[in-house]
Structure formats: structure tokens, C-alpha cells
Structure 1
Amino acid sequence: MNAELDCYRALVGFLSEVLGDDTEIILHDVTDLEHSVVAISKTNLSGRKLGAPVTNLMLKMLKEGRSKNKSYITNYEGVAKDGTVLRSSTFFIRNTQDDIIGMLCINSDYRKMERVIAYLSQFVGVQRPIEKKKEKPPAVEHLSPSIEDLAKESIKEIVGGVNIPPERMSQEERIEIIEKLNENGIFLLKGIVSIVAQELCTSEASIYRYLSKVKKVQES
């Protein structure tokens, strides 16, 4: 673990005790994306453990450089492996050169609170006002416990939009998938190519070839 993050370990336990059993606190070391989780609270909502990888949303932000002018992002949607929807927020930890070296993430389960509010509204006979439908963020954070799960979730999300099974895809369709995965930062992870190849029913050599084509187009 990056030594500069060591002082944040105690903050994980502190915030966990303050915020209670419905909130998970996680410390990430982004200098090791494949094993970024270096501290996690006793309350575990996402199913991740020490050594789990960074999330899909964080990869995309790091790839696009969207985190450069931000100190934190708050109240976005996170989805645990079991499908539980969480309210998530992330604080970016920077070194003296202003490079992001870590992230302190807070994931909260508000289902109990929603049930209490619904019960009290019914009990006192108050009809809750109709809330305006909020626009969803462009990406949902998948809180994956492993690199394999992260890759599968990312591919599933993209392939779902194409609506063609991987085994029936043409070369052009696979290249399109690779381009979107690259934009999402998935290839920042080491050892990801073999997993992507398996999920897209093709060879690692083909994935490297497609990725090379994508990068050439982006650079031209």
C-alpha cells in the first residue's frame, strides 16, 4: 500500500462507527488498480474484500481525466454484486504533486430509512408529494469484488446495448465493444485482456489487434 495513505486507515474505522451499520467505508489505493481496496469497514455492503479492484466508474474517470478538477463526487448510484442499490460518494486523496493516489468511498444503504418514511407517511395519513424524476448519471458504479466480475459487468452492460450474443458478433461489432471498453478504462487493469477475450468468445491475440486498431483511430 502507498505509505501516504496509511494515515487514512484510522479514518475508515472512525467514519464507520459514526455513520453506523448501514454504511460501508472503503479506502482505495489507485496506484494498484487490480488490488486497490486496502482498508474496509466491518459493515460490508458491497461484498468486496481487501485486495478487490477499483470500480468501473473510477476507471472511467481516471481514463478520461474527469477527476483532475474535482476533490470529491457525491450521491451517485452504486450497485453491489447482489443487486443492492447504494448511495455512494467518493473523496479523492492527492499527493503533494496533486496526483490522485487514493480514494475514500462511502456506500450507504437507505432501504431501512425509506421503509420508515413510507410507514410514518401511511400512519399519519400524509400523502407523500410526487417527486420529480431525476435524470440518472451517465454511468452506474458496479462494486465488483474481483477483476473478473468487473470485466463481466462492463462487457454485459455494453453488449446489452448491442443486443447480439458475443459468439455471433462480427469483427466490426467486437471492435466497437473494445472501443467502448477502452473508453471506460477497463484496459488500465493488468491481465484484463484474457478475461475480455473469454467473454467475447475470441482469442487474446484478436483483442490486442482490435485494441491496436482502436488506439490508432483515436490518435489519428
Structure 2
Amino acid sequence: MNSIHEQYIPVAEVIAKTFGHDCEVVLHDLTVPQSSVVYTVNNHVTGRQVGQSFNHLITDVLLSQNFTNDYSANYYFHTEDGRLIKSSTLLIRNPDKKVIGALCINIDTTRITESINWLSSLLPQNPDLPPNQHYQRDQTNETEHIQEIAHDLIDKIIGNKPVEKLRRDEKVEMVRFMEQKGIFLIRGTIDRVAEKLNISKVTVYSYIEEIKEKNNKG
């Protein structure tokens, strides 16, 4: 660890002490990316260990639309045991303006969420609303709007390709992409994909099951 990184150790300590037990701070030396973690405070939050590499630097920081002025603030990820972590990352530069490190702040939101839920339970609840035809119609219109967007996405993913000439693996790959993006969570999308790919709904379901099985094995 060089002197520039060492200057951030008191910063890491004071952040962790200010925000408490559920706040983890991780200091990275990006001149050794394969083992970039050089210092941690409260590392029980995510289990980060000195000698490990970075995880979210590319996807949640450098490629984030919120990345500005050498930092990305308030992005979220889940730990392996399902806890939601609120995170912010600041890049560290040397006097030559080269990025040589990063300071990451990870806050376990579990206690915060539990407290919010408990406080919400103390508030008066809204009484059951009587049936309202106008409200129901608005809900229907909203669902139709979401389906329209989903169908448009499906059309763009499949494009103008002659589906009769597509190989099975090409169709499976399209379905895989849609599954990863959550498109099939929207009602009616299975029918749309079956129609566009000129296959049955049963075949679409079989593709999805095949994809999930491979993901589980992988």
C-alpha cells in the first residue's frame, strides 16, 4: 500500500465510526486489480477480505449513468444471503491524475428496512376502498400500456429476421435474453414470443425451463 492509499485509512475509519456497525468501508489499490482490497472496516457487512479483487467497479460505477466527478453514489446490490446493500464508490487518483484506487462504502439496509416496516405498522391503515369503475379502468389501461411496451421490446429483439430460417439455438438465445431482462414477468409476453417466432407456447415454456436448468447447473 502506497502513501496515497494510506491517507484514506483515517477516512475509512471515521466513515465507519460515524455510520456504525452496519457500515463497511473498503479501500482498493487498483494498481493490483487481481488483489485490490488493501483495507477494510466492518467487513462483516459483505465479507470483503484484504487480497480480494473488486466486484462492482465496472458495472455499478464506471458504466453507471450516475457516475460523475469520479464517484457513483447510492447504487444497490444483494449479498449472497439476500441482504440489500446501499453502496457508493469514490475513485482515488495520484498526482498525475491516474486512477490508482477506490474507496467503497457499503451499508447493510436490513435494520433500516425493519425499522421502517415497524414504524409503518403503527400508522393508521387506509380503509378498504369501495369498488370504483373509473379506478379499475385506469388500472386496465396501465396494464395495457406495460404490455404494449413489452411487445415492442420483443419485436425489436426478434427484429425482421426470417424466423423460419432461425436455428433452434438462435431462438433459445433470444428467449434467454428476454428471460434475463424479466420480460416474461409481464402478462401476455409468452403468447407474443410464440407468435413472433412461429412456435407454440409450450415450446417457449420448454426453452425457459431449459435455460433455468442450465443456469442452476452453472
Aligned length: 136
Aligned to 2:188: none
Aligned to 1:80: 79
**TM superposition shift of 1:108:** 0.6
In the alignment, structure 1 residue 120 sits paired with structure 2 residue 119: yes
Aligned to 2:103: 104
**TM superposition shift of 1:62:** 8.5
CA RMSD of aligned residues (A): 3.2
3-state SS of 2:101 partner:
strand
Higher relative contact order, structure no. (Cα contacts within 8 Å, ≥ 6 residues apart): 1
| Structure 2 CA distance for aligned equivalents of residues 121 and 63 of structure 1 | 36
Q: Decide whether the 8 Å contact of 1:94 with 1:100 is kept in 2.
A: yes
Aligned to 1:52: 52
| 1:172-191 matched pairs, under 5 angstroms | none
| 1:16-95 matched pairs, under 5 angstroms | 16-55=16-55, 57-60=56-59, 70-95=69-94
| Structure 1 CA distance for aligned equivalents of residues 3 and 90 of structure 2 | 18
**Rg comparison, structure with higher value:** 2
| TM-score normalised according to structure 1 size | 0.53
Taking a change above 3 Å as real, the CA distance of residues 47 and 61 of structure 1, as seen in their structure-2 partners, is closer
Consecutive unaligned residues of structure 1, counting only runs of 5 or more, are 128-157, 167-198, 200-220
Amino acid at match of 2:97: D
Q: Decide whether the 8 Å contact of 2:89 with 2:102 is kept in 1.
A: yes
| Structure 2 CA distance for aligned equivalents of residues 117 and 67 of structure 1 | 26
Amino acid at match of 2:36: S
| Structure 2 CA distance for aligned equivalents of residues 3 and 87 of structure 1 | 29
Q: Decide whether the 8 Å contact of 2:25 with 2:41 is kept in 1.
A: yes
**TM superposition shift of 1:91:** 0.9
CA deviation string 1:100-141 (max 9, x = no partner): 1111101111221222122122213256xxxxxxxxxxxxxx
Q: Decide whether the 8 Å contact of 2:87 with 2:106 is kept in 1.
A: yes
Q: Decide whether the 8 Å contact of 1:47 with 1:81 is kept in 2.
A: no
Taking a change above 3 Å as real, the CA distance of residues 45 and 165 of structure 1, as seen in their structure-2 partners, is same
Q: Decide whether the 8 Å contact of 2:90 with 2:102 is kept in 1.
A: yes
Taking a change above 3 Å as real, the CA distance of residues 48 and 81 of structure 1, as seen in their structure-2 partners, is farther
Q: Decide whether the 8 Å contact of 2:93 with 2:99 is kept in 1.
A: yes
| Structure 2 CA distance for aligned equivalents of residues 87 and 62 of structure 1 | 13
| Structure 2 CA distance for aligned equivalents of residues 90 and 98 of structure 1 | 17
CA deviation string 1:167-216 (max 9, x = no partner): xxxxxxxxxxxxxxxxxxxxxxxxxxxxxxxx7xxxxxxxxxxxxxxxxx
